[in-house]
Amino acid sequence: MGGIGKTQICLKFVEKMAGRFSHVFWIDASSEDNIAVALKGLCSHPDAKAAGISASSNSALIWIASLQGELAAGV
């Protein structure tokens, strides 16, 4: 489904709604391995490090869930 404007729609959404979210994460969801790598990569985000999470996909998901009160958006 390449070339139908999915990324442009996401970019427009983030642009219009940016003030409503504390964080926006871009995750390559083309495979389970890519998702796991991207989530582990989030563990190096300064805010994640400050929260003291370990470098695992599960820890990243727990951290993202903790941002719910801050209105985090997963894109």
Of the candidates 51, 55, 31, which has an alpha carbon nearest to the alpha carbon of residue 43?
55
Would you list the domain boundaries of the chain?
Answer: 6-74
66 against 1, higher pLDDT:
66
CA distances (Å), origin 43, targets 1, 14, 40, 65: 30, 22, 5, 13
For residue 2, what pLDDT is reported? 74
pTM above 0.75, yes or no: no
8-60 per-position pLDDT tens digit: 998 999 999 888 888 888 899 899 999 999 999 999 999 999 999 999 999 99
- Residue 69 in tokens: 């009160």
61 against 2, higher pLDDT:
61
- The owner of tokens 């993202």 is 64
- Residue 8 in tokens: 């442009």
d(CA 22, CA 29): 21
For residue 72, what pLDDT is reported? 47
